[in-house]
Amino acid sequence: MNVNIPIDFFRFDGSRAFSSQDFPTKIEAFYDGKKEYKKLLEEFQEEIDDLQNMMYAHDKYAMLLIFQAMDAAGKDGTIRHVMSGINPHGVVVSSFKKPSSEELDHDYLWRTQKQLPQRGRIGIFNRSYYEEVLVVKVHPGILTGGQKIPSEHLEDVDKVFEDRYHDIKNMEGFLHRNGTQIVKFYLHLSKAEQKERFMDRLNTPAKNWKFSEHDVKERGYWDKYMLAYEDVINKTATPDSPWYAIPADDKKNMRLIVSAIILHHMQGLDMKYPEVDEARKAEFQTYRDMLDNE
């Protein structure tokens, strides 16, 4: 593949700090025009699909891809474009919105734990348990307004979030040690680009359905969200479960970068197709003869 995407530039694994102000929302494109973009994306899809088939046959690893971003950053489109060429039998996408009454009757990790991928499969979380240290941190009233947490555990709200970072890191470490490779993407969109995309949704009839006044209201908390994302990345990034900050103002470039990172992590798994022993190979000849003599 004739593209060199510097994965380490986007990677945050706890060895350096992430700053939303210092990290770019747009960089030089890794493609030269729509035709080359499409060709590169298809090549990534083919390689990811081949490795996912091997992962399924190997049946020891799973992969969890987490996508977090501000509204209109392109999570849905990135998931759809990057994974469209992958065998659907091996990929499961889960989206997490406002918790249901049943979900609120359990701990905050419960609803996502139920959707973790089986061995041999790729699970994709469109939003995730990280909402509990993003949206809830920006709106701490959620803690006391419906999460049913005992009052004695809410005396120090800052500690609640520190404990959640700790819980999440431990949970992800546990999953990693049991064969789940976790790769976390933060799609880093600029405030100016978000405004353009909101206006496009308002002005294009075919996109009106995408517009939500709630998204515009949340835009008013932009600075608080940026600080929350910085805390999330800096306090939960590890070498085994890294975060990747992806410049999101150029959707095509973003999809290529995400594809390259997924492929990189799949290539790093110690996988192979199951080997057949000699006795079984001898049996194959019997079945060949049976089929030839039909």
So what's the pLDDT on residue 263?
A: 97
Span 160-213, pLDDT tens digits:
999 999 999 999 999 999 999 999 999 999 999 999 999 999 999 999 998 988
CB atoms within 10 A of CB 136: 20
DSSP 8-state class, residue 148: -
So what's the pLDDT on residue 3?
A: 84
68 and 20 Cβ atoms separated by less than 8 Å: no
Tell me the angle at which helices 251-267 and 34-58 cross, rounded to the nearest 10 degrees: 30
Q: Report the pLDDT averaged over residues 49-64.
A: 97
Residue 268: name the closest of 183, 200, 190 by CA.
183
DSSP 8-state class, residue 276: P
So what's the pLDDT on residue 1?
A: 67
Q: Report the pLDDT averaged over residues 55-71.
A: 97
DSSP 8-state class, residue 265: H
DSSP 8-state class, residue 89: G
96 and 125 Cβ atoms separated by less than 8 Å: yes
- Evaluate if residue 67 carries a pLDDT over 70: yes
Q: In the sheet where 243-247 sits, what is the strand order? A: 11-12, 243-247, 180-188, 62-69, 122-126, 91-95
Residue 67: name the closest of 78, 58, 56 by CA.
78
Q: Please, what's the b/e burial string for 82-94 (b: 16 or more CB within 10 A of its CB; e: otherwise)?
A: bbeebeeebbebb
Residue type, 204: T
- Evaluate if residue 277 carries a pLDDT over 70: yes
Please name every residue paired with 180 in a beta bridge, in sequence order, or none if there are none: 62
Q: What average pLDDT does the chain have?
A: 95
247 and 187 Cβ atoms separated by less than 8 Å: no
Taking the chain, what is the end-to-end CA distance rounded to the nearest angstrom? 44
DSSP β-ladder status, 243-247 and 11-12: antiparallel
Please name every residue paired with 125 in a beta bridge, in sequence order, or none if there are none: 66, 94
Residues 6+ apart with CB under 8 A from 206: none
Look at the block and give the residue holding tokens 């509204």.
Answer: 71
pTM: 0.94
Look at the block and give the residue holding tokens 């995407």.
Answer: 5
Which tokens in the block code for residue 159? Answer: 């500690």
Residue type, 37: Y
88 and 129 Cβ atoms separated by less than 8 Å: no
